[in-house]
Amino acid sequence: MAKSVGIVGARGHVGAELIRLIAGHPDFELAFVSSRELVGQRVADHFPDFADRIGGELRYVSPGNEELPGLGADAIVLALPNGKAAACVAAFDVAGADPVIVDLSADYRFDDGWYYGLPELTRGQYSGQRRISNPGCYATAMQLAVEPMLDALAGPVQCFGVSGYSGAGTTPSDKNDPDKLRDNLMPYALTNHVHEREVTRQLGHEIQFLPHVASHFRGLTITANLPLAQAFERHQVLERYRGRYADEPLVDVRDDAPWVSNIAGRHHVEIGGFTLSPDGRRLVVVATEDNLLKGAATQALQNLNLAFGFDEMAGIPAAEHNA
């Protein structure tokens, strides 16, 4: 029997990707889709390619938090801005309801009571938890780029990041204004970014993150500078990364440096461009991903699959797998 999934906050870019992924999944169905701005409109009208799966009866709704538990979904995905998840979660606690809850915001990424769902690195820590915190988009790319060398690091890792403006959400700001971003690269939150703190906490190693937003819509790239405690040869580095991710269909380790223009609309992370300093004690690694997919919606689907015991890749378009 299909499991039902409700999406709270579906108007945004990530919410739209979630609708597509859930609608295309063999074992999930949409229980409800909430959006204050679109309330009353038919969901299928916004996703004609999935109209048959969504059906003509499902419409956007705008329930209050206290109404959410009564909608009876097996799982809830919270696609809300930071700071908004707690009120929703509290409503389920008060009602004594216990669906699987996947939170896409940063609100529970520092809460040990929630499973931190970066499957490639943490699936071994999953033991049936019903509360799952989805990692940040940049945080996903940074952790996957750094983790294979974690035991060889000699100091803080610097990560220079550039994201498309979809990462700034739909609320108007300088960071998602195409006119202001044209021919521009906009730095922001250059210290203490939430993803800097998130990755430092998860890896147990200091990460220094320098984020920027550019004029493209989707896709991010990070260039990580890793100081090493001993000299490495390039083939040793490649062996580490290829060995670490050999069985991970959503991590593609490549020889050359990946381009952000090639990752838009795809479900995996690409890691490559491995370059060592002449003394072999400084490594530079490049990682790219679609911030709306593996950086958010695709990863949420992996976590939902994990929670319900489905194949972790179920519902993720097979053509995008890289194993």
Cα 319–Cα 320–Cα 321 angle in degrees, nearest 5: 95
The DSSP secondary structure of 103-143, one letter per residue, reads E-SSTTTT-TTSEE--HHHHGGG-SS-SEEEPPPHHHHHHH
Q: Which 3 state secondary structure label does DSSP give 167? A: helix
Which are the catalytic amino acids?
A: 137
Q: At CB < 8 A and 24+ separation, what contacts does 243-246 make? A: 243/148, 244/147, 244/148, 245/120, 245/144, 245/148, 245/271
* 130 in Cβ contact with 99 (< 8 Å): yes
* 77 in Cβ contact with 300 (< 8 Å): yes
